[in-house]
Structure 1
Amino acid sequence: MRNSARSIVANLGLLAFGAVLFSFSVNAVIVGKGLMAGGLSGVALLLYYLTGVGGPGLLYFLCNVPLMVLGWVSLSRRFILYTLFGMGSVSALMQLLPQRTLIADPLLAAIFGGALMGAGSGIMLRSLGSAGGTDILAIWLNQKYNMRIGQFNFFFNLAVFAAGLAFYDPTLVLYSIILSYTNSQVMDYFLSLFNQRKMVFIISDKADVIARDIIYNLKRGATFLHGAGAYTGKSKRVILTITNTVQIKRLEELVFDHDPNAFFVVENTFNVLGEGFSRRKVY
């Protein structure tokens, strides 16, 4: 129960903090220069610029309502409840925070606004929910019709910017494409920043003692894989372990202290699910 309560608080905290960054970027940078964004937030901003009705937060909320209904009947309730909190937080903050022009230059506004929006989106996606938007529809289409999520997002954003070119200032739309690209790059960076892991293969004649030190000194798990030397035909036990960037140097020293002739192979890995690492996000 205590772990469950901590998990709920941590996820709500990530969603709330990400929503603040996302909404601040919209109200303090993006709206002031008349820029758009990708996804459903881009649709809401375009409608706001063209009609002036309500506000970007209210329009974002209204656009999300049918997607929330779709998600409630087709995706996991836990994911939708967290996403409902994230989407509601973004909508409320976009509606309540004052609109101003923090950066005068449109190019700098596109880069900074996209970076701030990407940071907020990435932090929210590190939780068990999201900020809503096209993610829900993309996941549903992937599960229902096996459409790739990236493919759907690409064509959706293409349609949004095409509508912007047809009904809005083309120069601002081009700046908005820069904003959207920056957003996606920074979001990917934040998604990987908190989950960078190193997958390590160790080939050594002293595999037993090395594995024991990994378990008891580094407090990491280890698995023996059975292999054989292609040249000698001699059986080998290969150690597989997962560690983080902080411990990788300690692991290297541990291995070569035991066996200076060991093979030590390191691979970057983005997502590790299981005990001691990340929890699986159920959609």
Structure 2
Amino acid sequence: MNRDFTYSIPWNIFIITLGSCIYAVSIKSIAYVHGFIPGGIFGLGSIVYYFTELLDPSLWFFLLNLPLFALGWFKISKRFCLYSLYAMCFSTVAYQVLNIPINIENEFYATVAAGVMGGLGSGLILRSLGSGGGMDIVAVMLNQKYNIGVGKTFFAFNLLLFSLSLSVLKPDLVVASIINVFIASTTIDSVISLFNQRKVVFIISDHAKAIYDDIRDQLNRSGTFLEGKGAYTGQNRDVLMTVINNIQLKKLEEITFTRDPNAFFIVENTFSVLGQGFSRRKVY
């Protein structure tokens, strides 16, 4: 996908809309049906309402979001807040409009399904230049400043929230909700990093230059030559380093061993690759 396209308004509106619909269905058709505790700022609003009996959870949700959006406006960007506002509003509309029955009777299966669907929806929203509002704003700020995974922040906050709920809710329900948000947080991080993960390959061979030429011609990828020296032989030789996606790995393996059956072929997983030819650094 063209990297500039991912910064376009149509793409961001599309991915936020899709994610909001999936998230709304997961909440309305699964989570609330089984009585799972709502997480995030809405869950916090529900707790505040329970202890104070003032206003109502939806109004608390609105009031608690105000300082978070102000924080995002000044600390992240105006564009981020506008996309986040759209996501929050559309999620509310989708929740009211969409009625898709998902008949899951087993509570554990429902916990897993709600976690996967909710995490997928939230993850898609967070792949845009916005967020779902609420704790997502804090999670994005922590990720930008300290590289803390968005899903980890989401899980930590909700774990604390559910712990506070133990005194007023059934333990079984709290445990089910914790499992739900754990699955959701893991799914969120997986969706966010899905297209940034690549393979770093080190190729040690006497035919490194010829292998590189084949990589350039057949895979349309470049590489970097590193100077190496055999510990046993003491001979100098080039080490070719290249970065590819998962689909190209087997082709690269074929190219390498066709040229040199005695080559060393070392593969490492990467968490993220940014730069020319790969993902663009995300700027909100």
Secondary structure, aligned partner of 1:226: strand
Match of 2:135 in 1: 134
Aligned to 2:190: 189
1:18-37 aligned within 5 A: 18-37=19-38
Match of 2:104 in 1: 103
Paired residues of 2:149 and 2:189 also in contact (CA < 8 A) = no
Q: Which runs of 5+ in 1 are unaligned?
A: none
Task: Return the offset for 1:206.
Answer: 1.2
Distance 1:107 1:252 in 2: 42
Cα distance in 2 between the residues matched to 1:99 and 1:33: 15
Offset, 1:98: 4.5
Alpha-carbon distance in structure 1 between the residues aligned to 2:241 and 2:82: 37
Return the TM-score normalized by structure 1: 0.84
Query: Residues of 2 paired with 1:54 and 1:29: CA distance?
Result: 23
State the AA in 1 paired with 2:173. L
* Cα separation, 2, equivalents of 1:22 and 1:46: 22
Q: Kindly state the Cα deviation for residue 79 of structure 1 after the two structures are TM-superposed.
A: 3.1
Identity %: 44
The code of the aligned residue for 1:22 comes to: Y
Distance apart, 1:45 and its partner CA: 5.9
Alpha-carbon distance in 1 for matches of 2:244, 2:189: 21
Q: In structure 1, what is the equivalent of residue 90 of structure 2? A: 89
Q: CA deviation at 1:260?
A: 1.1
Provide the residue aligned with 1:271 in structure 2: 272
Matches within 5 A, 1:185-264: 185-264=186-265
Question: Structure 1 pair 113/181, CA: closer, same or farther in 2 (3 Å)?
Answer: same
Which shows bigger deviation, 269-278 or 200-209? 269-278
3-state SS, counterpart of residue 33 of structure 2: helix
Contact 2:159 2:178 in 1 (8 A): no
Q: Give the deviation of 1:82 after TM superposition.
A: 3.0
Determine the C-alpha separation between the residues in 2 that align with 1:20 and 1:86: 10
Provide the rounded CA distance (Å) in 2 between the counterparts of 1:40 and 1:239.
49
- Cα deviation for residue 180 of structure 1 reads 1.1
Q: Is the 8 A contact 1:39 1:157 kept in 2?
A: yes
Distance change (3 Å), C-alpha of 1:269 and 1:140:
closer
| Deviates most, 27-36 or 7-16 | 7-16
1:177 equivalent in alignment to 2:175: no
Alignment TM-score, normalising by the size of structure 2: 0.83
Deviation at 1:5, TM superposition (A): 5.5
Relative to structure 1, the CA distance from residue 46 to residue 103 in structure 2 (aligned partners, 3 Å threshold; closer, same or farther) is: farther
Q: Please state if 1:164 is matched with 2:173.
A: no
Tell me what 2:281 maps to. 280
**Aligned partner of 2:218: which letter?**
N
Question: Counterpart of 2:118 in structure 1: which amino acid?
Answer: M
In the alignment, what sits opposite 1:122?
Answer: 123
Calculate the aligned-residue CA RMSD, in Å. Answer: 3.2
Q: Structure 2 stretches of 5 or more lacking a match?
A: none
Kindly provide the CA deviation profile for residues 185-222 of structure 1, in whole angstroms up to 9, marking residues without a partner as x: 32233334433321111111111121122112211121
In 1, Cα distance between equivalents of 2:226 and 2:85 = 44
- Matched residues, number: 280
Please tell me the residue identity of whatever aligns with 1:126.
R
Q: 1:36·1:45 contact (CA, 8 Å) conserved in 2?
A: no
Deviating more after overlay: 68-77 vs 32-41: 32-41
CA shift at 1:116, angstroms? 0.7
> Do the aligned partners of residues 194 and 138 (structure 1) sit closer, same or farther apart at CA in structure 2, a change above 3 Å counting?
closer
